[in-house]
């Protein structure tokens, strides 16, 4: 509903962004399909248990069919919902109101959605961002260890 309201108030800006985004994701999907081995080294790919090119091909096919049925906007919304459910499950677990299995199930849902988003937004670009973030975390850990103080990440 919020998307429709936004389009009513600012149609020229939103239509242009949507058009460019759809064009980009189509190109990214075809790149992802031709470079299937890249996903097996990422956290989302490894977390989803992908070990072979055929398993990755099956995953990409699942992502393609999911988008064909529900569309991009619905997948964004679904990812937001799954992340919120994981947040709630973690809060309940921390307060001993929830089970470990509930957290594990929500983690699985989030990993599946992140795999879809990674594919939609270009796997290579996402992988580069992950590597940048890992390097930053490593620097923070080294800095924290050398200063003997805990820093906020």
Domain that holds residue 60: 2-147
Give me the pLDDT at residue 132, please.
98
Would residue 136 count as lying in a domain?
A: yes
Token output for 97: 């109101």
CB 115 within 8 A of CB 59: yes
Residues 45-71, mean pLDDT to the nearest whole number? 83
Domain count, the chain: 1
Q: Give me the percent of the chain exceeding a pLDDT of 70.
A: 63
Say how many Å lie between the first and final Cα of the chain, rounded. Answer: 35
| Cα distances (Å, whole numbers) of residue 68 to 26, 76, 129 | 12, 14, 27
CA pair distance 55, 53, nearest whole angstrom: 5
Global pTM reads 0.64
Would residue 152 count as lying in a domain?
A: no
CA pair distance 60, 97, nearest whole angstrom: 36
CA pair distance 75, 46, nearest whole angstrom: 21
Give me the pLDDT at residue 49, please.
55
Give me the pLDDT at residue 81, please.
98
pLDDT in tens, 103-150: 999 999 999 999 999 999 999 999 999 999 999 999 999 998 888 766
Would residue 153 count as lying in a domain?
A: no
């Amino acid at each position: 509903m919020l998307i429709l309201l936004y389009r009513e108030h600012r149609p020229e800006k939103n239509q242009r962004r949507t058009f460019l985004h759809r064009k980009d994701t189509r190109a990214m999907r075809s790149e992802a399909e031709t470079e299937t081995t890249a996903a097996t080294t990422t956290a989302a790919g490894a977390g989803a248990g992908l070990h072979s090119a055929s398993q990755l091909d099956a995953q990409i096919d699942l992502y393609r069919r999911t988008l064909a049925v529900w569309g991009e906007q619905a997948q964004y919304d679904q990812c937001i919902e799954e992340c919120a459910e994981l947040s709630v499950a973690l809060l309940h677990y921390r307060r001993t109101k929830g089970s470990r299995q509930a957290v594990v199930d929500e983690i699985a849902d989030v990993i599946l959605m992140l795999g879809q988003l990674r594919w939609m937004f270009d796997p290579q670009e996402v992988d580069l961002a992950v590597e940048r973030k890992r390097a930053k975390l490593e620097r923070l850990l080294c800095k924290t260890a050398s200063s003997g103080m805990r820093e906020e990440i």
